[in-house]
Each structure stands twice: as structure tokens, then as C-alpha cells.
Chains A and B, each alone.
Chain A
């Protein structure tokens, strides 16, 4: 059974110039002990999806519909206080901005203990011990001293490790990492990803890894969901997706992976031409049609359904060829 099942999630915002359908009919599942990557260009609804799961959305949402079942319970139907019992305890989250995500006026120790205190009844000494263990687990040297320090005394990479320590303090079943390495130096990025992979292997925590970087995906994910304009357009195992992408958008994204060490220039980024559609207007056909090199009239009129095109490989494209499936 899946650990988390999102079905037909719709998260819409009220804005000054209309309703923004940031997430529009998204379905996905996360299995026990797997790392699911959600990829897509910035603005495609990845963060909104993760904030919908923890129900941490800003006040201008007009609608969250569908269901998000965690251990079979629909999170969208829980009371706020039941939800608080899940946040930081069964589902944790780390964010893109390690520099600003820790409270500047509280010690590291206090911030780790807080999570434990919110969800467990344990003594102060036990909490301290646990906090120290967590810092050691995420690879912070001299944890006893670090517990006394404040965030500004730590580097960005260290702060992201502290965030991970906080997130894991209560042994969550699911860790949502929203672009956890985007704000870090390349070398630090690799270390943090390695840490996440390590933790995954040891603790069997499921991870939703949100990123716009397919290089990151290749390193630690098991399965990938590709999002575009608030929808899922393709889903497959990592190998399958990286070697045989079937959606033209995914193909475009793969072209946009920075290729390190190719020719003279170190980083080459192939952008997908064209603009993301306006989410405030209803889109009749395929959401990607206006940028798609393969688009025809059909695409502008009829939205393609998500269809299984190969074993464990789902694509929303009229022209994705079927392969390896029994007729």
C-alpha cells in the first residue's frame, strides 16, 4: 500500500487578477521507503503541492479539493490540531532557504528540542541527547558545542544539515525536501544529497524530493513525477525517464540539464522556448501545446489524458508511443 496517495488535488489561489490554478488535478503516490522526485520548471506548482500536503498554504487559497491520503487518512479532512500532530512528527519538511529557515534568536539545540517536545513526552536530558545524536547523524562535527550556537554562527550547508536534523528528530515516515540544495554551493549540494540518500537507506523514510534539476534526480530518486502548469505530465522510474522520456516537455527538460565538462563551456543550459501558460485562464487543450515542437491542431483542442504508455510509465501526450505493453 502506498504511504501517501494524492488524488486529483486542486489548489487554487485568489489573486488580484483572477483565480490562479496553481495545482490542477494532480495525482501521485509515494511508496514506503522510496524517494519520489517531483521535477518541473519554477512556477509549475511543486512547492504548492508540498505545502498542500502539510496544509501550510497561505490564506488566499480559495480551494483545495481532491484527497491526500496518508496511511489511509485524508489529510484534507483532518482538523487543524490533528494536522499539527502530523507536521514535524509523521511528515516533515525542509525548505530551499537554509539561511532564513532557522529562527535567528534561538539556539540550534532549542530548535531541535522544540520538535521533539511538540510530539513526545520526554525529559529535557533525553531531548538534549536526541538533539546531539541528530546533529551527529547529519554530519555536524562537535554537536555538543553546536547545540549552544545560533544559526548565524553556521554556514549555509551546516544550516541545511540542522534543518534536516530538525526534520528527522521525530523519525517521520515522510520527508518532503523542497529544493533542499538549490541555494547551496555545488560541492555542498552534493554532500547534502548524499546525506539524504544515506538517511533514506538507513531509516527507510520515504522522501519527496522537489527539484528543477534532473541531475539531482538521477543521483538519489527512485521514481520521478514531471509537473507542468500544475499538472502531472509524465511519471516513470528514474532510469526509464532519463533514458526514454516520452513527453516532449521532459525531453526539453533533459536538454536543459547543465552539462558539466562538455566542450569549453562548463555549464550549458538549453532552455525550452516559449512561455508557461497563464494559470488564471482555463486551458482547453494540452497545457504544453504552445511550446511543444510536436504540437498539432489536436493538441490545442483536446487535453491528452494520462495514459500508461510503457510498464510503470505514464504520460499525458497524444503522440507518446506505446511500447512493451500487452495489447
Chain B
């Protein structure tokens, strides 16, 4: 197990390295001369040249990549070209809304998707199943921002049940915190629910045809026991896998959701950085997103044995 974990962690290194390389190239090949920006409008060519040397911008691509990587490994992600604040600081300031949004979305989406998958697998081919899967197609095909604006219009503008935008930190109370995140989490989670319930349903339908389900029925088990004790436990591996893969979806969706609901999170930071071409910030958040995604899927791999005793590392 430990050996596998170590090997699995090591295997993420090449991927992370590739991501780092791409992220760095982004800045390197991006239009605009950072030295010009740094030196200011009134700088003489000599001053600009000096700034360039001081920043190490006159070095070769590989040397610059090396020193950048070294800094990143020490947690230095560079400094925003717009606000002059270190990227790491920006991320730290913005992480809470994003983590809150993701966690809340994950919780409600999984809580909703698993029962939906169970119901539609059990009622396969019936109107209920078709209804649920129809909702799934809808949930998956409506763009997040459309859903977000609709929700916001109905529940915030018209009904006034929730704030139209903004984030309330959890330190100001769980109630207000939840209230500020309800609509964003719902908008962000809908496609995730669709994904998980669809994959879960397919896995469950296959499982329900297995011989051991027939055995369970022959023992006198009721649908409740068959679904929860037998089927769901066997479907855990594919479901957990798609939850992990779907985190990618959440990350992309968070950028849009945070912008619509004006949540001061990493997603907003990203969107703003892209609009202003603040490359160090873009680099930082892309690295962070990739790292998170890998970490989640690493965790998923490591918990497989909990669900399936045949998987041993």
C-alpha cells in the first residue's frame, strides 16, 4: 500500500512537470515585454535594459524555466503585474470562497446524484428513469452561466430568497455563509449531478444483472438491501472515479460561477487575470488547479481498496 502510494505520487511528477512547462511557456511566449511594464513609461532604453538584466529576462528559455521552477517549488509563484501583490498571497486571500463553493457543491451533488442513480437504475426503462435521465441531459447541456443567471433572476431578484451576489465568510455564521453559496453551488453542481448520476446509473444497471444480485434475492433480501448493501457497494469504484474526474468540471465551472455571482474566489481571480493578461497570476492559478485535480485523483486511487477488496496495492 505504502509502496503503491509512493509510486503513484511519483508518477504524478512528469505530468506536473509538463503542466509547469506549459504554464511557463505561456508567460514566455506571451506578447508584451514585462521589462517595459516594470520600468514604467518614462524609462530610458538603458534603464529598461537594466531592469531586463535584473529580472533575468536576458537569460535563455531553459535557464529562466529552471529558476522559475525553483521558485515555484519554494512556494514563490511570482508577483501580479497589475497589483504588485505576490501571487501566493492573492491565492491565499481568495481561497476560502472557492473551497467553500467546491465543498458545498461536491456534498450536495453527490448526495443528490447517488439516489437519482439508484432510482433510475432500479426503475430502468420506466417513466421515472426517463425523467431523471432527461433532467441529466438538460443539466449537462445547459451552460453554467445560463443556469446561473436564471437561478439568480428567479430566486434572488424576484423571490429575494438569496442574495444576488457576494460572499459571506463562514466566520460570520454558517447560515449566512450557506445562504450566500446556495445559488452558486446549485448552478455549479447541476452538470456534476447529471454526470455522476448518469455514470452511476450505468454502473448500477450492469451490477443489478450480476449473479450475486440474484443470490441476494434468493436469500429473501428486499429492494432496499439489494440496492444499498449489494449494488451500491459494488458501484462505489466507478462512482468515486467519476467524482474525481468531475472535479475538473467543477474547477472550470467555478471560474464562471464566481464571476456571475461575484464571489471573491480563485475563479474570479482567474477570470480577472485572463482579462487583464496578468500572466504570473494565470500561471499561479493554473498550477494550483492542476495540482488540486491531481491530488483529488490521487486520493481517489488510494481509497479504491476501501470499496473493493480485490484491489490491493
Contacts and interface: CB of A to CB of B under 8 A. Distances in A.
A101 B211 contact: yes
Nearest to A98: B211
Contact of B220 (A85, A95, A104): A85
B216 A56 contact: no
Contact of B309 (A97, A115, A152): A152
A100 B211 contact: yes
Nearest to A96: B211
B215 interface: yes
Contacts of B230: 103, 106
B307 interface: yes
Contacts of A85: 220
Interface residues of A, number: 28
A84 B220 contact: yes
B298 to A, nearest CB: 22
A322 interface: no
A105 interface: yes
Contacts of A152: 309-310
Interface in A101-120: 101-106, 114-115, 118-119
Contact of A163 (B215, B217, B221, B308): B215
A101 B213 CA distance: 8
Given A101-B212, A102-B212, A54 B218 contact: yes
A104 B219 contact: no
A92 B307 contact: no
B234 interface: yes
A115 B212 contact: no
A300 interface: no
A105 B309 contact: yes
B18 interface: no
Contacts of A87: 217-220
Contacts of B229: 106, 114
A86 interface: yes
Contacts of B234: 103-105
B220 A105 contact: no
A104 B308 contact: yes
Given A95-B215, A103-B212, A105-B233, A115 B220 contact: yes
A163 B214 CA distance: 12
B220 A89 contact: yes
Given A104-B310, A105-B309, A88 B212 contact: no
Nearest to A85: B220
B222 interface: yes
B215 A56 contact: no
A93 interface: yes
B219 A118 contact: yes
A166 interface: yes
A88 B219 contact: yes
A26 B210 CA distance: 28
Given A95-B211, A100-B212, A105 B307 contact: yes
Nearest to B210: A100
Given A100-B210, A104-B310, A106-B233, A118 B220 contact: yes
Given A101-B211, A104-B234, A114-B229, A92 B221 contact: no
A43 to B, nearest CB: 19
Contacts of A103: 212, 215-216, 230, 233-234
| Candidate in B212, B234, B308 with the most chain A CB atoms within 10 angstroms | B212
Interface string B185-214: 000000000000000000000000011101
A87 B225 CA distance: 14
Nearest to B307: A105
Contact of A150 (B210, B212, B225, B310): B310
Nearest to B234: A105
Nearest to A110: B229
B32 to A, nearest CB: 56
A105 B308 contact: yes
Given A85-B220, A88-B220, A114-B219, A104 B309 contact: yes
Interface string A64-97: 0000000000000000010011111100110101
Nearest to A104: B310
Given A105-B233, A105-B309, A152-B310, A166 B219 contact: yes
B308 A56 contact: no
Nearest to A55: B217
B221 A93 contact: no
10 contacts: A84-B222, A88-B219, A95-B218, A100-B212, A101-B215, A103-B234, A114-B219, A118-B219, A118-B221, A119-B220
Interface of A: 54, 56, 81, 84-89, 92-93, 95, 97, 100-106, 114-115, 118-119, 150, 152, 163, 166
Given A115-B220, A163-B215, 14 more contacts: A56-B214, A56-B218, A84-B220, A88-B218, A95-B211, A104-B308, A105-B233, A105-B234, A105-B308, A106-B230, A118-B220, A119-B220, A166-B215, A166-B219
Interface of B: 210-212, 214-222, 225, 229-230, 233-234, 236, 307-310
Closest 7 CB pairs of A and B: A88-B219, A88-B220, A87-B220, A100-B211, A103-B212, A150-B309, A93-B218
